[in-house]
Structure 1
Amino acid sequence: MLDHPQVRAWRPALAGIEEVYHARITDHVYPMHTHDSWTLLIVDDGMVRYNLDRHEHGALDQMITLLPPHVPHNGHSVTPTGFRKRVVYLDSSQLGDSLIGLAVDSPVMDDLLLRQRINQLHQALEHTGDELEAESRLALVSERLRSHLERRFEDHTPTRDAGIAHRLRDLLDEKFVEGVSLQDASAALHVHPAHLVRVFSREFGMGPHQYLTGRRVDLARKLLLAGMAPRLVAASAGFYDQSHFNRHFKRVLGTSPGRYARSGPARHLADPPT
């Protein structure tokens, strides 16, 4: 009896990504098919065997597989226990059609840093509301994929551009409640998105999304101590929803917003919250 695949699929509200697909596959065999987007695949458990352009390849743990659009491929598990995979389908804004031939020649990449960045991208995509983090992760992943395909690896680490980093911080400070997308920041500052993320992280020791979250949590603390209900603080401080607020608040402070609000001395009735 065949086991049905365990599947999670969704389309994030993030430009550049068509679909996110997580699956546990046991008996299913993928027939030859194509996609109109780039297939960025990592395998968390097991191994996949597939044919691409009449050549056989394997996708296994710790390796990255990049299948180009419009090129037929199939896939099946190598072991009886199946495999577990995570996929993001990238549109041509991330990797242009001019790179298709290079990807056909070398669809498998052995790059631990890239593997870590793809994993971080998936984690960001699973948490609704972390748009700036997802954008930042995607920019770094796409840049490194292009470097692999074009066989060029520029050294991005030594350069320090404090001016751009501080201009981005000023922009985040102006809009930390309503938020600002990485694409909008890139257009406003005339700097490539991936470079923005690198110089900011180098200058301040944290990514732009971490800085933005920190500003929001700091505002939330003030609102909670002023007596505002936690359910109202979430939107007032710029968080997507209550669960998004709770998760980030606890990650920063180690306690929930409700506990934090109740931690001080009881407020006297003659001293109403502002």
Structure 2
Amino acid sequence: MVEYFQGGGAEVIVCQGSALSYPWHSHVSTLTLGAVLEGVVELETDQGTGIYRENGLFALPPYMPHSLKAGSPYTLVSLCVRKAPAASGVFREARESAAALLRRAVGLPEVEERLLEELSLLSGRRSGEGEGPLAELRARLEREPELPCSLEDMAELACMSKYHLVRAFRREAGLTPHRFQLQNRVRKGQRLLAGPATVAEAAAAAGFCDQSHFDRQFKRLVGLTPAAYKRSCTAFSGP
């Protein structure tokens, strides 16, 4: 079972008794932390692979590519806080929202305390946005993923050949430009589904011309179908 609790620039995800695995991806807009309550998960990043068991905690800054595999059925609490609130003067408000969501979702003070303490530490680390043409391209693909942008268009924006672009982008972001754009289209679909948008409306607004393509990519990255995700957000929306 997967439950989503959202509000105030924060999100708590509870995977209970889950065997879901997540492919190589990144969280471009959020500081992400995970606390394993039961079972085992394997987290791979570009810095290595870690095995996390009961009471294990991991932290991911924005843009860090990673994958997660189930070592056994697990219960995992993930806290995601959007990078803008965490990096600005309203971090206290975002932290308070995160605390309220954790109390509602988990109700375990010791887990809440550990996650919030690590959140404070993670918010002060370098976020990895970078500068220059590649960073500008990455920002555009995050901000407006739904807009058509071919590899040739991306190469022109980044002022380099398309072959050099693919290598350089993968080196800096951990994903190809196309995969990064596709990931951000799914993320935009998530944000829309958390509101009043239907699945068809979210698919079109996120840049998918085919709803079945949206369904497949969404399930691959999120672990739920768009419809199941929307039901979860409706039933478990935060303050």
Shorter chain as normaliser: what TM range?
Answer: 0.3 to 0.5
Q: Which is bigger in relative contact order (C-alpha 8 A, separation at least 6)? A: 2
**Which is richer in helix?**
2
Q: Which has the larger radius of gyration?
A: 1
TM-score by length of 2: 0.41
TM-score by length of 1: 0.36
